[in-house]
Amino acid sequence: MLGYTGRESAIRTGGQMSSPPDRQPLQRISAGGETLAVRRLGTGRRIVLLHGGPGLDHSLLLPLAKQLGRSYEVWLPDLPGHGGSHDRARPLPDLEQLERRTVRWLAALDPVPFALGGHSLGALLIREAVAARRLDCRRLVLLAAPTPRDDSSHHGKRSASHPAGWRPRSGARRLRADLAELIEEEIGERPAPAFLAALGAASLRPPELYPALLAQLRRRLAAPVRRCDRPISSLMLYGACDSISPPETAGPLRDATAKAELTVLAAEGHFPWALDAAPAASAIEEFLARVEPEADL
C-alpha cells in the first residue's frame, strides 16, 4: 500500500529548500519499502513519469508535466539515488539495483496509476519491467526510449575508471560542466542548448559516479531487444534529429513491443518539449484518450 512519510514538506538539497515559487514542493512517498522524492502537479487520473539519466532528476520533465497537469495528476519521482531521492548513506545504485528498487516502488503504488511512462533511461526501466511481467500497466508512454545499438559504436573516450591523479572539479557549476563533458563524450557531439540550460535546475551528484552506470546501460542496449508481447497500448514518442535515441533506429524496439505506435515530433532533440511542451503533451493526451476504453476492457 502507498504511504506518505511525514507531512507534505520540501526536501532540503544542499541546505536549501528545493521548491521554487512556481512549483509544488517535493514530497517523500513510500511504497514497497522504498522512499522516493516526488513532484506532483495537476489533478485527475494519475500518470507517473520517470526521468532519464543517469545522474539527473525530474527537472527536465517539468515543462511537459506542467502541460499534462491541465488534465491529469502527474507524478515525477526522482529515481533511487538521484535528486531528492539521494540517500547519503547509500552509494549510487547500479543498473540492476536501480531497476529493482524503482519497480518495487512502482508496483506497490495504490491505486495503480492510470498510465506509466518514462524518458530515456526511465523509459527503459519501465518497458523492461513490463516486458518481464514484474510490473502491471495498461498504458505506456515511452519518451525517447533508448534504441538498440552496437556497443562498438560508442563515442565516449572516458572509461568507468579514471586515470591516476584524476580529481573531480568541485562546486555546482563545475559538476554541471563535468557532466556536460561526459555526455558530449558519450554521444559524440555537444549537448543541445536546451539540455545544458536544464542542467542548471537539476540536482546532480559528482559525475565520476556515472561512467560505470553508463557502461552498464551501453551493454544492455547492445543485447537483443526483450520482446513485450503483453497487450498493452504503448506510445513511443521521439523528437526529430535525436542523436541520443535516434527515431530512425527505433523500429526494432517498436516491432518487439505489442500494440506500440511510434510518433516523431517536429521539435528536435532528446528533450523536444524543452522549448514548447504543447505538441508533446497533445500527442500524449490524444493517445491516452484514444486507447482508454480499449485498455480498460
3-state SS assignment for residue 91 = coil
What pLDDT shows up at residue 210? 72
Distance (Å, rounded) from C-alpha 166 to C-alpha 51?
29
Cell numbers 568507468 correspond to: 160
Model confidence at 76, pLDDT cuts 50, 70, 90, reads very high
C-alpha angle with apex 169: 166 to 171, nearest 5 degrees? 160
Confidence of residue 90 (pLDDT cuts 50, 70, 90): confident
For the chain, which domains are there?
3-152+221-295 (3.40.50.1820)
pLDDT recorded at residue 75? 98
pLDDT in tens, 233-289: 999 999 998 888 999 999 999 999 999 999 999 998 888 998 899 999 999 999 999
pTM across the whole model:
0.81
Quick one: residue 136, left, alpha or beta (phi over 0 = left, psi -120 to 50 = alpha)? beta
Q: What is the pLDDT of residue 208?
A: 65
DSSP 144: S
106: helix, coil or strand? Answer: helix
Quick one: which H or E segment has residue 182? helix 172-187
User: Contact, 58 vs 83, CB < 8 A?
Assistant: yes
92 vs 55: CA distance, rounded Å: 9
Q: Could you give the angle at the alpha carbon of 219 between the alpha carbons of 149 and 119, nearest 5°?
A: 70
pLDDT computed for residue 207 by the predictor = 61
User: How many helices (H) and strands (E) would you count in the chain?
Assistant: 8, 11
- Using one digit for the tens of pLDDT, what is the confidence trace for 103-116? 999 999 999 999 99
**What are 276's three cell numbers?**
514548447
pLDDT digits (tens, 9 = 90+) for 200-221: 666 666 666 677 888 888 899 8
Rg of the chain on CA atoms, in Å: 18
**What's the mean pLDDT when you consider all of the chain?**
80
E strand intervals along the chain: 3-4, 12-13, 16-17, 27-31, 34-41, 46-50, 73-77, 115-119, 139-143, 233-240, 260-268
76: its cell numbers: 515525477
